[in-house]
Amino acid sequence: MSWLLLSFLIVAGAQPDWSPTLCVLASSVGYAIFWKGMLLAPKKRSRFSLALIWFASIQVVQLSWFFSDRYVGYYIYGVVGLLALGLGVQFAFLSLFIRKSMRLGNMLALCGAWALFEWIRLHFLSGYTWNPSGLALSATLPGMQLASLVGIFGMGFWVFFTNLVALKCLTKFSWLAFARFGVIALAPYIYGSAVIAFHGYQMEQEKRSLSALVVQPARYPEEKISIAGSTPPPPSSLWRDIFSLLTPYLGTEHQLILAPEAVVPYGAFSPIYSKEGAARLFESYFDVMPETPSSDVGNAFFAQALADRFEADVIIGLEDGAYNAAFLFRPGQTSINRYEKRILVPMGEYIPFKWCKKILSKYGILDSFTPGKEAKVFEAAGLLTGISICYEETYGHLMRESHKKGAALLVNLTNDVWYPRSRLPLVHFYHGRLRAVEAGIPLIRACNTGVTCGVDSLGRTVAFLPYETSREPSEPGILELDLPLYSLSTPYTLWGDWPVLALSIVFLIVSPSRRKYLDLSSLTVFCLRKN
């Protein structure tokens, strides 16, 4: 029992925002300690039950931010319970194949199966991208660099492999086995340290940077839309807050201004403001009367006026009809670029079943958005820029599409306020930071209450604003950012997840115990073809 309890404390606490130390331990020996205790159970049924309960309980602990149910309702408890149970079944199934003494081929086959499981649930449980096992490696800057080589699924493969080698060392100790484990456990950190040393020096020599202003409004949903009978203030008051934040920066030179997802309600072009009133409102803050159109105006009018007044490109999140979108406004130009969010949040941005409508209407969700169809790269501040909205940045392959189209900068517009006073802002940030490392290009995050920040191409946080936590609410503010633009070519950008997936299938097929893995390998190949 002590083995099981110790392993639970290590792995459950292995979240980058909780404990880097536990993350290092979990990615090297945490799972091995559990398997050591599990193997003491004499029957397969007992081992399966232990593995299921252990891993499902860990998921509940790590996903505890879901339980901030102020806006999502009590149904979320059932969703998390079912999700944790399903993940527990996956882990328990693979744990049945673990033995005290395993050949290298069998170990690699199990690691491949785990990597494929994580990949499959990303694509077939499209609302769930959280908690890949490789995330534990991202708690340290050197460990995080492995993402540039093999992506998040390759990191999960390595975590599983390291723990299987550790298990062999725990069950039959020898100095040779210990040395072998030490080399494997330290390999990601040695690789990462070399990457940081080389490219960190190159970055210092280049000294090319982007100057940006990033808006953090810190507004709750009832301040923008009607929820459970609330009466939100007029949207013009939201613009007044944004103008007040930006006014001190008049006269400064910045290339880019960013504002988060759905920063104001009623869409981009709905004519909700009188043309004269909108022009006077803008003039009262910026001493310039913008060109007045012939009819009433929408939120796009203010975004374009900001671009013209600051002589900077503006990237802002606004709804546009059936789309949750991001817009690029450029000084003195009438053409507008729009990116449509491709991955919609279940029960938040699309309603999967008719019976859900009554429940969701209480929270201001009346209909579904339409998903976008493709990655788009826009030229902003002289850079090709790939844009993502909300938790799209937790999908490595989506961000890779932007880089493959030439993006030299990633921009994420996020609104994490739907789980208030929870860990979500930090959890989201740690996933997003990996995208900069995978792609080898810098990232700017504009968040409503989350981690508004700049991240360089090595995953280092350049600057950030205070974000919402369980103890402190988020505060409105402007992040004045000078972001290094150094980029590096990464193997992940070139090849994506396919080398890890292909090797995983090969390891399953050629395993010394391939008969045991035949059904599993056939299933994964079928899923890959279907996707």
Q: Which residues are catalytic?
A: 261, 341, 390
| Contact call for residues 213 and 257 (beta carbons, < 8 A) | yes
Q: How far is CA 329 from CA 214, 316, 453, in A?
A: 15, 8, 21
As a whole number of angstroms, the distance between CA 200 and CA 131 comes to 28
| Alpha helical stretches, state H, 63-174 | 75-95, 104-124, 141-144, 147-171
For residues 446, 224, 17, 501, the Cα torsion angle rounded to the nearest 10 degrees is: -70
Q: How far is CA 267 from CA 158, 246, 262, 332, 500, in A?
A: 45, 22, 8, 22, 42
Name which of 262, 240, 242, 148 is nearest 195 in CA terms: 148
Reduced to 3 states, what is the DSSP secondary structure of residue 31? helix
Kindly give, in sequence order, each residue whose CB lies less than 8 Å from that of residue 394, ignoring residues fewer than 6 positions away.
129, 130, 428, 431, 432
What is the CB-side half-sphere exposure of residue 123 using CA atoms within 13 A?
16
Which pair of tokens denotes residue 359? Answer: 């429940």
| Contact call for residues 313 and 259 (beta carbons, < 8 A) | no
The residue whose two tokens read 């369980």 is 470
Beta-ladder partners of 316: 259, 327
| Contact call for residues 300 and 322 (beta carbons, < 8 A) | no
| Contact call for residues 412 and 388 (beta carbons, < 8 A) | yes
Amino acid at 469: T
| Contact call for residues 112 and 507 (beta carbons, < 8 A) | yes
| Contact call for residues 425 and 468 (beta carbons, < 8 A) | yes
Beta-ladder partners of 379: 384
